[in-house]
Amino acid sequence: MTEVLAPHALDARRVIVVAPHPDDEALGCGGLVWHLARLRRRVHVLFVTDGGASHLHSPTWPRARLAATREAEAEAALRELGLDAAARTFLRLPDADMPLPGSPGDAAALRGVTALMREVAPDLVLLPWRRDPHRDHRDAWSLVTRALSEAGMAPATLEYAIWLDEIGAADDHPRPGEMERVGFAIGDALPAKRRAVAAHRSQCGALIHDDPTAFSLTEATIERLTGPVEFYWRPL
């Protein structure tokens, strides 16, 4: 059975939201983030990759232009969710090509995320699901989990799945005794969450029209992730 809680039942004061790509913060956690912002909890959003790989064949949106646009879209989404200007970090790792663990790029990213964890000292971290079928989501989970370990910190964690229900293999799902499912009744946050998702215009097919191979969020995905209850997995 899934427990459904009211957002104010969370007693976390300092929360880090980990978004592998700009749009995951809105799709995965937008409802809870909106409530936490209204409750005046400190929320810091960490965008891990630059999102620059969603339209690789667009002649008019080369990677750097797209990445800059995706940051602007993320800023607009955070405004919809009620977050102030200081509460975000763009790590700018390459979308779909995060550095391999042990590489110099990974070591630098690990240092940066470890420093952020020490600075914010979160008592709750919202992470992407550890076995999300999208590799960047798994790699982002791994990076932040290793950073917490480096920092010697063990805050509460909740994991949100973006692609698991659509394209996950059997092994990607939680195993018996591994996790419990928690829902948050996000209620009043829904309109703001939907606006935050729509602020990622490039991902909703609203901005770039010259790459037929491009990624685009479907209505079905958006509907699935913008219901009145936002679901997370909590480690047992």
Which residues make up the interface to Zn ion (CB under 5 A)? Answer: 20-21, 24
Nearest distance from C-beta of residue 1 to Zn ion, angstroms: 29
3-state secondary structure of 104: helix
Which CB, 10 or 226, lies closer to Zn ion? 226
Residue 4 to residue 170: CA distance in whole angstroms: 25
Which CB, 7 or 20, lies closer to Zn ion? 20
Which CB, 10 or 214, lies closer to Zn ion? 214
Residue 69 to residue 33: CA distance in whole angstroms: 22
Nearest distance from C-beta of residue 18 to Zn ion, angstroms: 11
In which region does residue 23 sit, left (phi positive, over 0), alpha (psi from -120 to 50) or beta (all else)? left
Residue 107 to residue 30: CA distance in whole angstroms: 30
Tell me the sheet residues that pair with 65: none
Residue pair 24/73 in contact (Cβ under 8 Å)? The answer is: no
Nearest distance from C-beta of residue 21 to Zn ion, angstroms: 4
Which segments of 49-206 does DSSP mark as H helices, in order? 63-80, 104-120, 135-150, 164-167, 190-198
Which CB, 24 or 50, lies closer to Zn ion? 24
Residue 109 to residue 122: CA distance in whole angstroms: 18
**Pick from 20, 28, 27, 34: which is nearest to 80 by CA?**
34
Closest-by-Cβ residue to Zn ion is 21
Which CB, 41 or 137, lies closer to Zn ion? 137
Which CB, 110 or 164, lies closer to Zn ion? 164
Nearest distance from C-beta of residue 88 to Zn ion, angstroms: 16
Nearest distance from C-beta of residue 123 to Zn ion, angstroms: 25
Nearest distance from C-beta of residue 128 to Zn ion, angstroms: 7
